[in-house]
Amino acid sequence: MVVPEWRRLLFDHARSVYADGAEAREKKAATTKLQQLLGPMADEAMRIVEAFAHGARAADGLTGSGQGVPPEFETRLSIILNGLAPEAETHRSGEGEQSAVIQQELWQLLYKVRESAELSYAREIDLVELDRRILFLLRSQGPLVPADISGSVGVDKAQVSRSVKRLLELKMVERDQIRAPVSLTRKGATLADRLLRLAELRNRELTFDIGDDELASFFAVIEKLLHRAVMLYEQERALNQNDVKSLNPFVADPDYEPNSENPIVIERSRILAPLMTLSAYFSRSGALTFKRLTSLSNFESWVLNEIALDAPIDWNTLVSRLDRDHSQAGRTVTALIERGLVKRSGKPGRRHGLFSPTDEGQRLIEIIQEASRQRSAFLMAPLSVPERERFFATFEKVRRNAVVQLERERTFDELGHSVP
């Protein structure tokens, strides 16, 4: 891994020891830097990785220099460095917490925005979110083939096809043949313009207290994150399809470029559009990762992890943390209980119960947490510490504004239903 810096230095030193069978010539400079980052634990950390590298080299039967470093070595080394992480990270200002925000806080932010959007747009026309996003995309970018639409919104081609079919039936879009570019009809353009005016109002609310320079910096970081998210998804998909057990999808390919046939359009007119695309790619790769490692879906993994964080957890607390309705959470928890991953105690009735992971559930949680940490570190690797701090400061402003926006829409909805 390339972040945090102490971790990168230890990784580089261990690779050199494994490849050459001797201490790296740059050890003195690395140790000096590590002492600045880790303090008194730097020397011990260096000895630990050296011992592991020498042992791995001997176990693999290597005798010469200039040996290649296999993916399995980096995976095992990563597990060892995880034991150093809690103490090492105290020397960095909350870096671990900032990485974790991408997986859960982004999901919860977008859930709030989607709920308020459904309430707001429903007063204009009853279209699902993906249909609206495609209308907005076509209005801003012009005609696009379905593959380009899929890449830009971050959802698979089957979902895009179903959405395009709905819009064709509503005569909002048109195309000459099945693989031809999709374009807006006059009716679709008129509706898109009307919805875009509403979207602009919502966007101004979400960007309250965020200046133009801050917003430009935020988009620049999202662009970097999206490049990594697509890389992670494509690497995980290749692993899933080819069943290559030794491939480590959390190591960056220095020669990687996204599929040029399906370019991703960064839509800068609305702050939520690129966040939705980022979330979509990160969730899709997460679904593949967790399915491969635990046979759980993305949401099942999240529910199991939330239960373990505060076990035994009561029903209402769990549902509030998930930001989902009771029925969806209930189906997932029931499935986890049936699979022997969650146990229930307390009074009869789901709402009165307390939930905890079983031993098998706890084993899977440890796998999920390690994969989540590696996924977050992979995603955030290209960002400097100042970039991270600025990004998360802006993200918190958007989150705060989204909460206010949702409460307002809920109030409007209640007032509307109360009118006789």
Residue 60: enclosing H or E segment and its boundaries? none
Rounded to 5 degrees, φ, ψ at 93 are -80, 85
- Nearest by Cα to 83 from 125, 41, 134, 123: 41
pLDDT score, position 399: 87
pLDDT score, position 56: 77
Residue 127: enclosing H or E segment and its boundaries? none
- Residue 258 CA, distance from chain mean position: 17
pLDDT score, position 172: 92
| Diameter of the chain measured on Cα atoms | 85
pLDDT score, position 40: 59
pLDDT score, position 310: 77
260: which DSSP letter? T
pLDDT score, position 185: 93
Domains of the chain: 5-92 (no CATH), 96-123+210-420 (1.10.10.10), 126-206 (1.10.10.10)
pLDDT score, position 267: 60
pLDDT score, position 84: 57
Inter-axis angle of helices 315-322 and 326-338, nearest 10: 110
Cα separation, 24 vs 299, whole angstroms: 44
Q: Which residue has the tokens 């949702």?
A: 406
Q: Which residues contact 166 (CB under 8 A, 6 or more apart)?
A: 128, 131
pLDDT score, position 419: 43
Q: Which residue has the tokens 């965020």?
A: 210
* Torsion angle, alpha carbons of 111, 117, 120, 124, to 10: -140
Residue 4 preceded by cis peptide, ω within 30: yes
pLDDT score, position 186: 93
Structure token digits, residue 74: 């980096």
- Nearest by Cα to 7 from 287, 404, 380, 420: 380
207: which DSSP letter? T
143, exposed or middle or buried, with CB in 10 Å at 0-12, 13-18, 19+? middle
3-state helix, strand, coil in the chain (%, to 5): 70, 5, 25
Q: Which residues contact 59 (CB under 8 A, 6 or more apart)?
A: none
pLDDT score, position 71: 65
- pLDDT per position in the chain (420 positions), as tens? 334 677 778 888 888 888 876 655 556 666 777 776 666 567 767 777 787 777 777 777 776 676 677 766 766 676 666 555 544 444 443 444 444 446 677 777 887 888 888 788 777 777 888 888 899 889 888 898 888 888 777 777 888 888 999 999 999 999 988 778 999 999 999 988 888 888 888 888 888 889 889 999 999 999 889 888 888 888 888 777 765 444 556 666 666 666 545 555 556 567 888 888 888 888 888 888 888 888 888 788 888 888 887 788 888 888 777 766 677 778 888 899 999 999 988 766 656 678 889 999 999 988 888 888 888 888 888 888 888 889 889 988 988 888 888 888 888 777 765 444
